């Protein structure tokens, strides 16, 4: 059993009590586990059209295409499995992500992991997690349109390789960026859109649309507990579609 499997099992057991008490995602420290040796299988690098997640990550790390490069500690390309069931897209790295070079590893990220675990998802088994912008905006401000535009090519290339079955946007910025709208998250959340990928498929024709759903950012749930119930409804809507 992998460490993630153990964490997921522990989380689900812990959450079952929370649900009985109607506390869906109580804040708690995640227990630390290690993989069983036999299950410590490395992800095999996969190339699509000569491109790979490793190549993109290396380019992100050397990227100076917008002003955020001068302010970052570490860029955050993203992490997860190849060809995920779900691609989770957030806005931009925060301070802890900036220090560690990994997406969603702070308090909000731990909540995101618990939200995903509640519908049988994790970055270790069936998800890939990234952001629309790969470097931290100072003071956690919103990325500017120029910064988002400069970084969009990396997400587009990641999606061409990942070919996710579904997309979950967490937060207003990610949802607005992916859906090319200025509509608020309150109106965008909880329903499916058809996202048309930018990449060209290997065969002739258009790339198939990917079902995309949005919900509140876990940081918003930490600031406003009243958003947890609608977020849980969004996750249940996603789970019903995933059929896992
Ligand atoms: S945010 Fe994106 S475009 Fe800007 S420097 Fe980082 S990787 Fe490059």
Residue 135 lies in a domain: yes
Compute the average pLDDT of residues 222-237.
97
Residue 44 lies in a domain: no
Residue 123 lies in a domain: yes
| pLDDT surpasses 90 at 219 | yes
Instruction: Tell whether ligand 1 has an atom less than 6 A from the beta carbon of residue 92.
Output: no
Instruction: Collapse the DSSP code of 25 into the 3-class scheme (helix H, G, I; strand E, B; otherwise coil) and give the result.
Output: coil
pTM of the model: 0.83
Q: Which residues contact 55 (CB under 8 A, 6 or more apart)?
A: none
Mutate to test the pocket of ligand 1, among 103, 133, 142, 153 (most ligand atoms within 8 A of CB): 133
Residue 236 lies in a domain: yes
Do 222 and 107 contact (CB within 8 A), yes or no? yes
**What total of structural domains would you count in the chain?**
1
* Tens of pLDDT, residues 77-86: 999 999 999 9
Which CATH number is 235's domain given? 3.40.470.10
Residue 35 lies in a domain: no
Q: CA–CA separation, 138 vs 161, rounded Å? A: 30
Q: CA–CA separation, 89 vs 111, rounded Å? A: 15
Instruction: Tell whether ligand 1 has an atom less than 6 A from the beta carbon of residue 155.
Output: no
List the Cα angle 192/196/200 in 5-degree steps: 150
Instruction: Tell whether ligand 1 has an atom less than 6 A from the beta carbon of residue 134.
Output: yes
Residue 84 lies in a domain: yes
Domain that holds residue 174: 50-242
Residue 26 lies in a domain: no
Instruction: Tell whether ligand 1 has an atom less than 6 A from the beta carbon of residue 74.
Output: no
Match 């590893």 to its residue by tokens: 105
Residue 76 lies in a domain: yes
How far does the centroid of ligand 1 lie from the alpha carbon of residue 162, in Å? 20
* Tens of pLDDT, residues 58-103: 999 999 999 999 999 999 999 999 999 999 999 999 999 999 999 9
């Amino acid at each position: 059993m992998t460490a993630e499997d153990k964490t997921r099992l522990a989380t689900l057991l812990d959450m079952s009590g929370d649900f009985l008490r109607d506390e869906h995602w109580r804040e708690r420290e995640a227990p630390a586990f290690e993989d069983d040796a036999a299950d410590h299988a490395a992800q095999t690098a996969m190339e699509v059209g000569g491109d790979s997640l490793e190549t993109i990550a290396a380019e992100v790390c050397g990227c100076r295409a917008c002003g955020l490069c001068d302010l970052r500690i570490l860029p955050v390309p993203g992490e997860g499995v190849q060809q995920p069931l779900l691609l989770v897209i957030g806005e931009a790295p925060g301070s802890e992500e900036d220090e560690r070079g990994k997406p969603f590893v702070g308090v909000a990220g731990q909540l995101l992991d618990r939200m995903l675990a509640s519908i049988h998802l994790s970055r270790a088994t069936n998800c890939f997690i990234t952001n629309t912008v790969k470097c931290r905006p100072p003071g956690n401000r919103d990325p500017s349109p120029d910064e988002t535009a400069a970084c969009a090519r990396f997400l587009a290339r990641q999606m061409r390789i990942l070919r996710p079955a579904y997309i979950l946007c967490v937060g207003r910025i990610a949802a607005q960026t992916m859906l090319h709208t200025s509509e608020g998250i309150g109106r965008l959340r909880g329903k499916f859109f058809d996202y048309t990928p930018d990449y060209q498929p290997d065969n002739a024709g258009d790339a198939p649309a990917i079902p995309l759903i949005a919900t509140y950012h876990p940081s918003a749930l930490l600031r406003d507990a009243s958003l947890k119930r609608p977020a849980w409804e969004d996750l249940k809507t996603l789970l019903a579609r995933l059929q896992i």
